[in-house]
């Protein structure tokens, strides 16, 4: 009888101790959610964040407030996420690519993506394409590679800055094909568009959004898109794999992150709410107008993509011996 009474008392104590934790998990979200956008208002990340916040708050039953924390190559916003409580009330829309590249070009970062963040789901990818000045004789990727090899260093390649994605796209192409070109860094896409269209530089591998009307008008030629599948924005343009460079993939990326340590049940609910958002026709249409093709994913799929991007860009940077300037 004594043993039975003691066992009952212990079970009662355990149930009492466990009850608050269950209640807390069931109560989430218990307050408005903060969604960090690590870029300024008005840009692509901010626009995606606000559209995404609008959709998931209806599902989760709490308001979602977008908190712009721009600067230092999106690392200020990521540092804020890293320092936030892992209770599911703070998240961030950021780029798997940005944070794969960041450790190579930013010293003493407070965070490491693989160690400190959980990628909840991949929201979408911006379309990246290989663009050439219309006067260039190369009409395909194969012809461009052959031309570059026949005139090593004589073709010039425009990027939005040293160590950025457009620069690394070129480095990846060079490593995969041997096409040697002269890198000409600018301060952003808008600064090199006229030079590319008028032939003062000949090549770039850039997000297509700013170039779409000029592709349509013939001011610039698109040879291929750097996606696994053809883009609905440019359905007649082949992928880089179809064009003869298998495995060449790149995109501007939009992924939902939470801090490491966020309860698995919360991550699961966020993943479900996020996937409901990306299935929404209005949301898909809004993002496609930004040049972004929605993806959606399970959390393990997002985790696998994160590992792949870290490996991809780390390999490109090391092989290219690209150092901070």
- Name the pairing type of β-strands 33-37 and 64-68: parallel
Q: What is the pLDDT of residues 74-106, one digit of tens each?
A: 999 999 999 999 999 999 999 999 999 999 999
pTM (whole model) above 0.85: yes
pLDDT for residue 178: 96
For 6-19, how does the pLDDT look when each residue is reduced to its tens digit (9 = 90+)? 444 444 444 444 44
3-state secondary structure the chain: CHHHHHHHHHHHHHHHHHHHHHHHHHHCCCCCEEEEECCCCCCHHHHHHHHHHHHHHHHHCCCEEEEECCCCCCHHHHHHHHCCCCCCCEEEEECHHHHHHHHHHCCCCCCCHHHHEEEEEEEEEEEEEEEECCCCCCCCHHHHHHHHHHCCCCCEEEECCCCCHHHHHHHHHHHHHCCCCEEEECCCHHHHHHHHHHCCCCEEEEECHHHHHHHHHCCCEEEEECCCCCCCCCCCCCECCCCCCCCCCCEEEEEEEEECCCCHHHHHHHHHHHHHHHHCHHHHHHHHCCCEEECCCCHHHHHHHHHHHHHHHHHHHHHCCCCCC
Pair of tokens at residue 196: 């590319």
CA–CA gap between residue 153 and residue 135 (Å, rounded): 18
- Tell me the CA end-to-end span of the chain in Å, nearest whole number: 77
Residues facing residue 91 across a β-bridge: 35
pLDDT of residue 9: 46
pLDDT, residue 23, reads: 45
- Residues facing residue 207 across a β-bridge: 128
List of domains in the chain: 32-125+252-319 (3.40.190.150), 127-225 (3.40.190.10)
**In this structure, what token pair is assigned to residue 179?**
């096409």
In this prediction, residue 15 carries a pLDDT of: 43
pLDDT of residue 16: 44
DSSP bridge partners of 35: 66, 91
The CA-CA-CA angle for residues 225, 230, 233, to 5°, reads 80
pLDDT at 27: 85
* Orientation angle between helical segments 44-60 and 281-288, nearest 10 degrees: 170
Predicted local distance difference test score (pLDDT) of residue 26: 56
- Report residues of the chain scoring pLDDT below 50: 1-24
CB atoms within 10 A of CB 24: 12
What are the C-alpha distances in Å from 79 to residues 20, 73, 232?
A: 31, 11, 35
């Amino acid at each position: 009888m004594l043993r039975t009474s003691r066992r009952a008392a212990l079970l009662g104590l355990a149930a009492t101790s466990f009850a608050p934790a269950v209640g807390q998990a069931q109560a989430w979200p218990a307050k408005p959610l903060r969604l960090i956008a690590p870029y300024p208002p008005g840009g692509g990340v901010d626009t995606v964040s606000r559209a995404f916040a609008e959709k998931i708050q209806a599902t989760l039953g709490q308001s979602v407030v977008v908190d712009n924390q721009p600067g230092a190559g999106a690392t200020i916003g990521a540092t804020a996420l890293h320092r936030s409580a892992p209770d599911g009330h703070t998240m961030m829309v950021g780029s798997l690519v940005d944070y794969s590249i960041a450790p190579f070009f930013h010293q003493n970062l407070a965070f490491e993506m693989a160690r400190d963040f959980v990628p909840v789901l991949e929201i979408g990818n911006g379309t990246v394409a290989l663009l050439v000045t219309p006067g260039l004789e190369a009409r395909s990727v194969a012809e461009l590679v052959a031309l570059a090899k026949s005139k090593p260093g004589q073709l010039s390649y425009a990027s939005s800055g040293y160590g950025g994605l457009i620069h690394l796209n070129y480095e990846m192409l060079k490593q995969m094909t041997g096409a040697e070109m002269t890198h000409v860094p600018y301060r952003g896409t808008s600064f090199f568009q006229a030079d590319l269209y008028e032939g003062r530089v000949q090549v770039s591998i850039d997000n297509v959004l700013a170039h779409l009307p000029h592709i349509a008008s013939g001011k610039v030629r698109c040879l291929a898109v750097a996606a696994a599948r053809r883009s609905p924005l440019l359905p007649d343009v082949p992928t880089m794999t179809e064009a003869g460079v298998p495995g060449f993939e790149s995109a501007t990326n939009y992924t939902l992150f939470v801090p490491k340590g966020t309860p698995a049940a919360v991550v699961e609910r966020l993943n479900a709410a996020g996937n409901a958002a990306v299935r929404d026709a209005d949301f898909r249409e809004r993002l496609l107008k930004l040049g972004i093709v929605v993806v959606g994913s399970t959390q393990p799929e997002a985790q696998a993509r994160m590992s792949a991007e870290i490996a991809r860009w780390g390999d490109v940077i090391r092989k290219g011996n690209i150092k901070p300037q």
